[in-house]
């Protein structure tokens, strides 16, 4: 019996691919394996009226790609699509999707490649849309897990919000589909992986790098706030990099679309604003606080209120117990920006507009890398 929550009759089903991955990444193509699908079809039928499923799917012939981990990678010219082919295919895909807004996706539309990572509720694979050869990241979430942890509403909210956002620094959710057991999210592929890994690798970033990332985040958050979306969980693990090193906000799991103040305490402790720690009503300004935390972490390698115990972190946040180590050597301008964001009174925090005008950003952010 399918649960009611995943019946997105009013959801957007989108595929308007605006950016191209030009890397022509070699895929590890797995064996195609026919599935015994009677159970799958039964459940699909129960969802059919809501989701308007593929008419052409034949009983017993639904196939899925299985991952051949360790299989040799295939890197023939055919598997390294060139720019012109990609552009032509992209145009074709867009016009197809525009001409048929009810384009339905299934696992058959994708060749599955290497695993990209594992999250709390599923796995992410590199994948390529068969016809256009467009590279995407396919996030596979098991419905069982979703129901077990009762994150139906959170996931649905995350998907709706992410699919509605269009910004160069926000990871695109191109669309989704599902089968009896799994939900598949078709995500923009961020070739550079997690920003967190870069931070761990280098210890901390240069002022130019840090300012460029903060400027990218600021414009993305200004866009979100304009659409009444508060992210509430910006941290290096939720930030990905594309093949040009451009930052992408990737995880909207705790985001909320609201014009009124919120009360849910959420996010990750080190990044929480005092009003959230105190479980008070909060608004957009929690994201501005987090920008201050991130700016500090980018420059010093660790968040400012990190402590041995959670209760100490709470106390340090509440006191705004901020200090700047002598190493690495960080400019006075950067410290000024951080101090003007990590302000307990949320109404006195620097606005996103003013962040972009701050001398440290103006001097250091590299517009060509934003
Ligand atoms: N679009 C993408 N492009 C490239 N790599 C990705 C992409 N999405 C996810 N990944 C990789 O897969 C990993 C797991 O992603 P996923 O979103 O499932 O986990 P997560 O960030 O821990 O989120 P959650 O907390 O929701 O489980 C990420 O840490 C990242 O390394």
For the ranges 34-43, 283-292, 293-302, the lowest mean pLDDT is seen at 34-43
Is 124 touching ligand 1 by the criterion CB < 6 Å? Answer: yes
Report whether 342 contacts 291 (CB < 8 A): no
Encode pLDDT of 191-247 as tens digits: 999 999 999 999 999 999 999 999 999 999 999 989 888 877 788 888 999 999 999
Q: pLDDT category, 277, cuts 50, 70, 90?
A: confident
Is 187 touching ligand 1 by the criterion CB < 6 Å? Answer: yes
Share of the chain above pLDDT 90, in %: 51
Is 189 touching ligand 1 by the criterion CB < 6 Å? Answer: yes
Same domain, 184 and 248: no
Domain end residue (candidates: 169, 188, 207) = 188
CA of 25 to the centre of ligand 1 (A): 18
- Report if residue 3 sits inside a domain: no
- Report if residue 4 sits inside a domain: no
Strand pairing partners for 249?
170, 239
Encode pLDDT of 18-30 as tens digits: 332 323 333 333 2
CA distance 288 to 285: 5
**CA angle, residues 309, 313, 317, in degrees to nearest 5:** 170
- In the residue annotation, 109 being an active-site residue is answered as no
Assign 204 to helix, strand or coil: coil
**CA angle, residues 123, 128, 132, in degrees to nearest 5:** 150
The residue count of the chain comes to: 370
Cβ-Cβ contacts under 8 Å for 172 (sequence gap 6 or more)? 17, 18, 19, 162, 165, 166, 187, 188
* Helix extents (H) in 104-259: 143-148, 152-164, 195-202, 207-226
Same domain, 259 and 344: yes
Question: Diameter of the chain by CA atoms?
Answer: 68
DSSP assignment string, 247-285: EEE---TT-EE-SS-B----S-GGG--HHHHTT--B-TH
Q: What is the ipTM of this complex?
A: 0.96
- The answer, yes or no, to whether residue 57 has pLDDT greater than 70, is no
Domain end residue (candidates: 147, 164, 188) = 188
For the ranges 80-89, 240-249, 326-335, the lowest mean pLDDT is seen at 80-89
Assign 190 to helix, strand or coil: coil
29: domain CATH number is 3.30.200.20
DSSP assignment string, 309-327: SHHHHHHHHHHT-----SS
- The answer, yes or no, to whether residue 325 has pLDDT greater than 80, is yes
Same domain, 125 and 208: no
- The domain in which residue 65 lies consists of 13-188
* Nearest Cα to Cα of residue 159 among 14, 55, 48, 29: 14
pLDDT at 256: 57
Same domain, 213 and 81: no
pLDDT at 168: 96
Which of the following is catalytic: 109, 179, 233, 242?
233
- Report if residue 2 sits inside a domain: no
- Mean pLDDT of all residues belonging to the chain: 74
Please state, as a whole number, how many other Cβ atoms lie within 10 Å of the Cβ of residue 85: 14
Same domain, 245 and 169: no
- Report if residue 104 sits inside a domain: yes
How many domains does the chain fold into? 2
Reported as half-sphere exposure (CB side, CA atoms, 13 A), residue 143 has a value of: 16
- Report if residue 1 sits inside a domain: no
Whole-Å CA distances, 36 to 5, 33, 66, 67, 109? 26, 10, 14, 18, 19
Atom 4 of ligand 1, nearest CA residue: 190
- Report if residue 8 sits inside a domain: no
Could you tell me the pTM of the whole model?
0.73
Average confidence (pLDDT) over 175-200: 95
- Report if residue 103 sits inside a domain: yes
Same domain, 312 and 328: yes
Residue found by looking up tokens 């967190």 in the block: 196
- The answer, yes or no, to whether residue 175 has pLDDT greater than 60, is yes
- The answer, yes or no, to whether residue 273 has pLDDT greater than 50, is yes
Atom 31 of ligand 1, nearest CA residue: 117
Integer-rounded Cα Rg, in Å, for the chain is 22
pLDDT at 42: 26
- The answer, yes or no, to whether residue 329 has pLDDT greater than 80, is yes
pLDDT at 279: 80
Please state, as a whole number, how many other Cβ atoms lie within 10 Å of the Cβ of residue 365: 22
Which ligand 1 atom sits closest to the C-alpha of 253? 26
- Report if residue 148 sits inside a domain: yes
CA distance 297 to 330: 12
Encode pLDDT of 106-163 as tens digits: 999 999 999 999 988 889 999 999 999 999 999 999 999 999 988 888 888 888 889 9
Domain end residue (candidates: 188, 219, 234) = 188
pLDDT at 14: 30
Best residue among 17, 25, 117 to mutate for probing ligand 1, ranked by most atoms within 8 Å of CB: 117
Average confidence (pLDDT) over 14-42: 29
Is 215 touching ligand 1 by the criterion CB < 6 Å? Answer: no
pLDDT at 260: 52
């Amino acid at each position: 019996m399918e649960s009611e929550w995943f019946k997105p009759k009013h959801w957007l089903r989108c595929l308007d691919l605006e950016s191209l991955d030009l890397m022509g990444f070699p895929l590890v193509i797995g064996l195609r394996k026919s599935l015994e699908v009677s159970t799958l079809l039964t459940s699909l039928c129960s969802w059919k009226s809501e989701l308007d499923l593929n008419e052409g799917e034949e009983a017993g012939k639904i196939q899925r790609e299985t991952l051949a981990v360790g299989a040799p990678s295939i890197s023939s010219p055919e598997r390294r699509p060139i720019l012109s082919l990609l552009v032509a295919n992209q145009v074709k895909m867009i016009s197809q999707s525009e001409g048929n807004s009810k384009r339905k996706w299934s696992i058959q539309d994708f060749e599955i490649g290497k695993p990209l990572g594992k999250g709390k509720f599923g796995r992410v694979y590199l994948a390529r849309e068969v016809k256009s050869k467009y590279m995407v990241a396919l996030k596979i979430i098991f419905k069982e897990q979703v129901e077990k942890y009762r994150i139906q509403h959170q996931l649905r909210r995350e998907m709706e919000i992410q699919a509605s956002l269009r910004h160069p620094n926000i990871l695109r959710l191109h669309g989704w589909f599902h089968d009896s057991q799994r939900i598949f999210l078709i995500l923009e592929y961020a070739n550079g992986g997690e920003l967190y890994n870069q931070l761990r690798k280098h210890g901390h970033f240069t002022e130019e790098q840090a300012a460029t990332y903060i400027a990218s985040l600021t414009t993305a958050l200004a866009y979100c706030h304009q659409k009444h979306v508060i992210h509430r969980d910006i941290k290096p693990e939720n930030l990905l990099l594309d093949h040009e090193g451009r930052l992408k906000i990737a995880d909207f799991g705790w985001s909320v679309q609201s014009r009124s103040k919120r009360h849910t305490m959420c996010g990750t402790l080190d990044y929480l604003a005092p009003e959230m720690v105190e479980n008070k009503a909060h608004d957009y300004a929690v994201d501005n606080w987090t920008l201050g935390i991130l700016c500090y972490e980018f420059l010093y390698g660790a968040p400012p209120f990190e402590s041995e115990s959670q209760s100490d972190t709470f106390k340090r946040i509440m006191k705004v117990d901020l200090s700047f180590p002598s190493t690495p050597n960080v400019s006075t301008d950067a410290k000024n920006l951080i101090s003007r964001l990590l302000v307990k009174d949320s109404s006195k925090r620097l606005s996103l507009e003013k962040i972009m005008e701050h001398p440290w950003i103006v001097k250091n952010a590299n517009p060509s890398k934003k």
